[in-house]
């Protein structure tokens, strides 16, 4: 007579010993796991391959000041203070991180070299913040001029601010 053929009584139910052993082994196997090690080597660079350029040095941030007027479109056709410099070719993405939509009705930013646009984007107060636009392919050793256009809301009274994010793909 085999022990595996016997039934174990739990309460009023009879359960085969084989079934109990299967459940016990499966439970033990189910809690087994593996820990893997992931090592990263990081190299610190002063600026990414695409960065802001003030005519003399590279920077990771850029600040532009413009005077805007209610119901008027203000254009900075070729911003003399800042450009976007691409050291090597690759993709970039751009988005509005925040915009005072009670004072700014529309924002247009264009990056270009000569007659070729890298990007030409317009945001309105309804769709100002959110997703990244792109990818936009940059060229090697190229400096892109900026065109910035702001349409102030009719009710604009406060100092307004706009924050943009430029995401650079690392090669």
What's 114's domain CATH number? 2.60.120
Is residue 34 in a domain?
A: no
State which residues form the domain around 138. 50-168
The rounded distance, in Å, linking the Cα atoms of 101 and 131 is 17
Domain count, the chain: 1
Q: Give the single-character DSSP code of 17.
A: H
Cβ partners under 8 Å of residue 85, min gap 6: 50, 51, 52, 53, 58, 142, 143, 144
Q: What is the pTM of this model?
A: 0.74
Is residue 5 in a domain?
A: no
Tell me what pLDDT residue 58 has.
Answer: 94
Tell me what pLDDT residue 146 has.
Answer: 94
Tell me what pLDDT residue 10 has.
Answer: 58
> With helix as H, strand as E and coil as C, how does 144-164 read?
EEEEEEEEECCCCCCCCCEEE
* Radius of gyration for the chain, computed over Cα atoms and rounded to the nearest angstrom: 30
Tell me what pLDDT residue 30 has.
Answer: 57
- Coil, helix or strand at residue 98: strand
Is residue 41 in a domain?
A: no
Is residue 1 in a domain?
A: no
Is residue 155 in a domain?
A: yes
Is residue 2 in a domain?
A: no
Tell me what pLDDT residue 17 has.
Answer: 65
pLDDT by position in tens, the chain (length 171): 455 556 656 555 556 666 767 777 676 655 567 788 889 998 888 999 999 999 899 999 999 889 999 999 999 987 668 899 999 999 999 999 988 888 999 999 999 999 999 999 999 866 767 789 999 999 999 999 999 999 999 988 888 889 999 999 876
Tell me what pLDDT residue 23 has.
Answer: 75
Is residue 135 in a domain?
A: yes
Tokens of residue 123, six digits: 């945001």
Is residue 3 in a domain?
A: no
Tell me what pLDDT residue 68 has.
Answer: 92
Question: What are the backbone angles phi and psi of residue 74, rounded to the nearest 5°?
Answer: -105, 130
Q: Do the beta carbons of residue 50 and residue 86 sit within 8 Å? A: yes
């Amino acid at each position: 007579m085999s022990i595996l053929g016997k039934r174990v009584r739990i309460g009023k139910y009879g359960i085969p010993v084989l079934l109990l052993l299967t459940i016990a082994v499966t439970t033990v196997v189910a809690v087994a796991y593996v820990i893997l090690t992931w090592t990263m080597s990081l190299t610190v660079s002063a600026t990414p391959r695409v960065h802001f350029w003030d005519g003399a040095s590279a920077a990771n941030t850029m600040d532009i000041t413009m005077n805007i007027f209610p119901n008027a479109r203000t254009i900075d056709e070729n911003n003399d203070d800042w450009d976007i410099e691409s050291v090597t070719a690759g993709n970039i993405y751009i988005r509005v991180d925040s915009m005072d939509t009670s004072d700014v009705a529309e924002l247009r930013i264009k990056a270009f070299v000569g007659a070729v646009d890298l990007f030409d984007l317009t945001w309105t107060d309804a769709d100002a913040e959110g997703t990244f636009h792109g990818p936009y392919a940059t060229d090697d050793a190229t400096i892109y001029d900026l065109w910035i256009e702001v349409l102030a809301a009719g009710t604009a009274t406060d100092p307004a601010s706009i924050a943009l994010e430029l995401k650079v793909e690392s090669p």
